[in-house]
């Protein structure tokens, strides 16, 4: 490679780290080390309803105990809302955002009436209701003060970008067609910027060349590639690593109350025991 690669580990402080986080941190650090590169740390704390400042210290303590080190200062997303607002404004200026006034319940009801949405009937696949509003009705709703979210008009995005390529280090070259993505939310009142906006803006700001993350995020990479194209941001490579799973093959997650690294440490486990469990899971 012409220049050293940069990877990143980006946990959210919604609780203590568990075995899956340990694997993600280790994968990011190992990928950087393999190419004599750098690995940076980012705290993804824009979700004000779930993130807690007290968990930041616990995460840093867990990483220190594991012996996983990072290069340069830690980035904290909650200090970067102006950067995300700038990106949202750039998308508005390109005509690829529109206000959505639908509630989650209204979206679910419309999807059900359509006879089921793509991707297994997930209710987060938006049917495009507010994209089809005429200008007069949209202006009326905005003037009324009704809460709304900003959605990406993927059809408009596709007309600008056309098909896009991206590369995964495990799965090879991929093609993204923005018109097939669905109109995702990029901002709302209770969260000024979505994960999708924040992650592409921050990866560019930190100079990330190789995005190392779990394979569960593979399906959203097309959204990120589209935003990079619309915002004129550098395009990294991706490395979607395997996930840590339980005996039944289910992915371990904080919400399932899987054992935390703090609890493992209190039970007398050593870092090498954690790494062994990672390899065996």
Per-residue HEC secondary structure of 145-170 comes to CCCCEEEECHHHHHHHHCCEEEEECC
Tell me: pLDDT of 217 over 80: yes
Tell me: pLDDT of 186 over 50: yes
Contact 52, 33 (CB under 8 A): no
Residues with Cβ within 8 Å of residue 97, at least 6 apart in sequence: 88, 91, 150, 151, 152, 153, 186
Q: What is 80-198's CATH topology? A: 3.90.800
User: What's the order of all strands across the beta sheet hosting 172-176?
Assistant: 172-176, 164-168, 237-241, 210-214
Question: Sign of dihedral through CA atoms 141, 227, 161, 233?
Answer: positive
Tell me: pLDDT of 255 over 60: no
Q: Given this chain, do its domains 1-77+244-281 and 80-198 carry the same CATH topology?
A: no
- Give the residue-averaged pLDDT of 176-197: 87
- Chain segment 149-173, per-residue pLDDT in tens: 999 999 999 999 999 999 999 999 9
Tell me: pLDDT of 77 over 90: yes
Q: Residue 123: pLDDT band by 50, 70, 90 thresholds?
A: very low
Q: Residue 57: pLDDT band by 50, 70, 90 thresholds?
A: very high
Compute the 3-state secondary structure of the chain and give helix, strand, coil in percent, each to the nearest 5: 45, 15, 35
Phi, psi (deg, nearest 5) at residue 165: -105, 145
Residues with Cβ within 8 Å of residue 124, at least 6 apart in sequence: 107, 182
| Pairing status of strand 75-76 against strand 164-168 | unpaired
Question: Mutual orientation of helices 195-205 and 81-93 as an angle, nearest 10°?
Answer: 110
A 10 A CB-CB count for 3 gives: 9
pTM to 2 decimal places: 0.89
> What whole-number distance in Å separates Cα of residue 243 and Cα of residue 218?
12
Share of the chain above pLDDT 70, in %: 87
51-55, 121-125, 138-142, range with the lowest pLDDT: 121-125
| Pairing status of strand 149-152 against strand 185-188 | antiparallel
How many helices and strands (H and E) does the chain possess? Answer: 11, 10
- Give the residue-averaged pLDDT of 176-192: 86
**Domain extents in the chain:** 1-77+244-281, 80-198
Domain 1-77+244-281 in this protein, CATH class: alpha beta
A 10 A CB-CB count for 31 gives: 19
């Amino acid at each position: 490679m012409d220049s050293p690669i940069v990877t990143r580990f980006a946990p959210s402080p919604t609780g203590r780290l568990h075995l899956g986080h340990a694997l993600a941190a280790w994968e990011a650090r190992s990928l950087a080390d393999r190419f004599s590169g750098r690995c940076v740390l980012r705290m993804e704390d824009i979700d004000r309803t779930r993130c807690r400042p007290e968990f930041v210290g616990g995460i840093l303590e867990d990483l220190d105990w594991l012996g996983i080190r990072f290069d340069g200062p830690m980035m904290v997303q909650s200090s970067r809302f102006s950067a995300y607002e700038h990106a949202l404004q750039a998308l508005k200026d390109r005509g690829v955002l529109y206000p959505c006034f639908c509630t989650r319940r209204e979206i679910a009801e419309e999807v059900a009436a359509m006879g089921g949405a793509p991707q297994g009937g997930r209710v987060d696949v938006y049917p495009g209701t507010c994209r089809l509003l005429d200008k007069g009705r949209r202006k009326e709703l905005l003037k009324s003060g009704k809460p709304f979210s900003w959605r990406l008009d993927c059809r408009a995005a596709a007309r600008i970008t056309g098909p896009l390529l991206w590369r995964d280090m495990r799965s090879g070259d991929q093609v993204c067609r923005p018109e097939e993505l669905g109109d995702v939310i990029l901002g709302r009142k209770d969260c000024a910027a979505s994960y999708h906006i924040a992650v592409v803006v921050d990866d560019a700001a930190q100079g990330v060349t190789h995005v190392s993350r779990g394979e569960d995020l593979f399906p959203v990479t097309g959204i990120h590639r589209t935003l990079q194209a619309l915002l004129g941001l550098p395009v990294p490579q991706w490395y979607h690593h395997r996930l840590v799973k339980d005996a039944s093959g289910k992915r371990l997650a904080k919400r399932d109350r899987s054992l935390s690294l703090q609890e493992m440490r209190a039970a007398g486990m050593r870092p090498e025991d954690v790494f062994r469990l990672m390899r065996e899971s």
